[in-house]
Structure 1
Amino acid sequence: MDRIILHIPVISETLHRIGAPVSALVRTGGMLYTCGMPPIDHRTGEIVRGDIRAQTRAALDSLEFALTFGGSSLARAVKVTVYIVDNALTGEMNSVYRDYFPDGFPARTCLEVAAWPAFDIEIECVAPVI
Structure 2
Amino acid sequence: MTVIPLADSEKKDMVKKIRGNFMNQAVLVDKTVYVSGQIGLDPSSGQLVPGGVAEEAKQALTNIGEILKAAGCDFSNVVKTTVLLADINDFNTVNEIYKQYFKSSFPARAAYQVAALPKGGRVEIEAVAVLGPFTTASL
Question: What is the TM-score when the length of structure 1 is the normalising length?
Answer: 0.87
Q: How many pairs were matched up? A: 124
Distance (whole Å) between structure 2 residues aligned to residue 45 and residue 35 of structure 1: 20
Distance (whole Å) between structure 2 residues aligned to residue 60 and residue 28 of structure 1: 22
Give 2:15's aligned residue: 12
Task: Give the residue type in structure 2 aligned to 1:16.
Answer: G
Give 1:72's aligned residue: 73
What CA deviation, in whole Å up to 9, does each residue of 1:53-101 have, x standing for no partner?
A: 1000000000011001011111110001111101100010011111111
Give 2:64's aligned residue: 63
Task: Give the residue type in structure 1 aligned to 2:3.
Answer: I
Distance (whole Å) between structure 2 residues aligned to residue 103 and residue 81 of structure 1: 18
Q: What pairs with 1:43-58 in structure 2 (closer than 5 Å)? A: 44=44, 46=46, 47-58=48-59
Greater percentage in strand: 2
Q: Secondary structure at the match of 1:23?
A: coil
Task: Give the residue type in structure 2 aligned to 1:12.
Answer: V
Distance (whole Å) between structure 1 residues aligned to residue 13 and residue 41 of structure 2: 9
Is residue 24 from structure 1 mapped to residue 47 from structure 2 by the alignment?
no
Unaligned runs of 5+ in 2: 7-11, 133-139
Q: Secondary structure at the match of 2:23?
A: coil
Unaligned runs of 5+ in 1: none
State the Cα RMSD in Å. Answer: 1.6
Distance (whole Å) between structure 2 residues aligned to residue 11 and residue 121 of structure 1: 19
Give 1:106's aligned residue: 107
% identical aligned pairs: 25
Shift of 1:11: 4.0
Distance (whole Å) between structure 1 residues aligned to residue 23 and residue 35 of structure 2: 10
